Structure 1
Amino acid sequence: MFDEQEVVLRIQRGDVRAFTVLVNQYERLVFHVVHRLTLDQADAQDICQDVFLKVYNRLNTFAFESKLSTWIARIAYLTAIDYLRKYRKQTTTDLTDTLEQTYFTTETPEQALTQKDVSAYVNNLIAQLPAQYRTVLTLYHLDEFSYPEIEQITGLPEGTVKNYLFRARKLLKDKLDSYLKDE
């Protein structure tokens, strides 16, 4: 069983193997958060390395006021956002209802379904969501964080988190309904 307090204390005392245990415990979470924002495997891997360097260097500031996973996910989220701002020149704050439709491609479901795989199609749809929607959806449904935890990770108010999650689900539902109607 993973005891985060023990692992953190061991790392703070210089135990490198304990840091390996921490990385193994949270590497999927960090990759999920980062990859859903960047949508690029190579970028995500580079950012994940940066995240774990930051975790290692800042571990002495972790005060166990939240779960370690929440604290690490926040570092991953902020590091990915910083990367996007610096290298992609994308803003992550301009969300308007009129732009929501532009995040979906005009390709047919048949084109999107590389192997007639609905799961791949849904993942493709999720990848086309605005970054905030994609992140909140991933943190809530795939990483199983609560609303307060997502608020801590993203810095968004809980009401905004709920709103983004609602909008993301609605966009996915509308697109899937359209696909199923065509079937």
Structure 2
Amino acid sequence: MNENQRVQQVLSGNTSAFAYFVETYQDMAFTIAHRICGNVHDAEDVVQESFVKVYRNLHTFRSESKFSSWLYRIVYNTAITHSKSKLWLSSDQERSLMNVQEFSDLDTETQILDSERTETVSNVLNCMPKGEALLLTLYYLEDNPVKEIARITGLNESNVKVKLFRARQSFKELYTKYERVTTF
């Protein structure tokens, strides 16, 4: 059964069919909300509020785009509203670089393991400006194409490409500094 059929089930009164959408998309919805809000509690609130909005506005979903893009757009907008943050403004880079010092407790040999590498990437993403971390997450971890990211964030495609380029540079710089801190 495809997602459009599931939407029709919910709209025709089978409210339990909505559980599919929650189970399928709650993890990435939380990731998006957490990247924007910066803390677990607010992210959980945003995700819950977003799913309520999705349920109430399911009749407005047009099958022209992917359901996930529509849902993530709602999560994104709800998180922006909730956090009232300036998502695309650079955060205090000095503060981010100071946070890199926290990584020095990790054992260099252990970093080679995939689980440690995943943790390292997550830590570096947490030190980055929220908007950049979100774009990298959507593109690399969720495998969304630029076009879908543009739909989710409301940016145009060329703007997404530019911001992704800058985010990659920022990630590389922070990751390199992290590597230097942990090797000493």
Partner of 2:26: 27
> Which residue in the other structure is 1:138 paired with?
137
Residues 104 and 129 of structure 1 are in contact (CA less than 8 Å); yes or no, is this contact kept in structure 2?
A: yes
SS of the residue aligned with 1:104?
helix
Distance 1:81 1:131 in 2: 11
User: 2:36 touches 2:87 (CA, 8 Å); kept in 1?
Assistant: no
Unaligned runs of 5+ in 1: none
Residue 103 of structure 1, CA deviation: 5.2
Whole-angstrom distance in 1 between the partners of 2:178 and 2:80: 32
Partner of 1:5: 4
Q: Find the aligned partners of 2:52 and 2:161 in 1 and give their Cα distance.
A: 31
Alignment of 1:130-169 (within 5 A): 130-169=129-168
Structure of higher RCO (CA pairs closer than 8 Å, 6+ residues apart):
2
Offset, 1:61: 0.3
Q: Post-superposition shift, 1:9?
A: 0.1
1:129 aligns with 2:128: yes
Is the counterpart of residue 104 in structure 1 residue 96 in structure 2? yes
Cα-Cα RMSD: 2.0
What percentage of aligned pairs have identical amino acids?
A: 33
Alignment partners' CA distance in 1, 2:86 and 2:179: 33
User: Per the alignment, do residues 159 and 144 of structure 1 end up closer, same or farther by CA in structure 2, a change over 3 Å counting?
Assistant: same
The structural deviation recorded for 1:100 is 6.4
1:127-161: CA deviation from partner (whole Å, max 9, x where unpaired): 12112111111111111111011001101111121
Q: Which amino acid aligns with 1:91?
A: K
Q: Measured at CA, do residues 5 and 150 of structure 1 come closer, stay the same or move farther in structure 2, by a change above 3 Å? A: same
| TM-score normalised to structure 1 length | 0.86
Query: 2:54 touches 2:71 (CA, 8 Å); kept in 1?
Result: yes
What is the match of residue 64 of structure 1? Answer: 63
- 3-state SS, counterpart of residue 97 of structure 2: coil
Aligned partners of 1:76, 1:179: CA distance in 2, in Å? 31
How many residues end up aligned between the 2 structures? 174
Residue of structure 2 in register with 1:94 after alignment = 89
The CA distance in 2 between the partners of 1:34 and 1:179, in whole Å, is 25
In the TM superposition, what is the alpha-carbon distance from 1:181 to its structure 2 partner? 4.4
- In 2, the alpha carbon distance for the partners of 1:147 and 1:141 equals 11
2:36/2:80 contact within 8 Å kept: yes
State whether structure 2 residue 77 is matched by structure 1 residue 82: no
User: Deviations for 1:89-148, whole angstroms, at most 9, x for unmatched residues?
Assistant: x322434xxx6633523242314x498634323211101211211111111111111101
Structure 2 residue runs of 5 or longer lacking an equivalent are none
In 2, are the aligned partners of 1:34 and 1:44 still within 8 Å (CA)? yes
Q: What is the distance in 2 between the residues matched to 1:100 and 1:156?
A: 23
* Number of the residue aligned with 2:14: 15
Larger deviation: 139-148 or 118-127?
118-127
For the Cα contact (< 8 Å) 1:103–1:130, is it kept in 2? no
Structure 2 CA distance for aligned equivalents of residues 79 and 156 of structure 1: 16
Cα pair 2:132 2:163 within 8 Å, conserved: yes
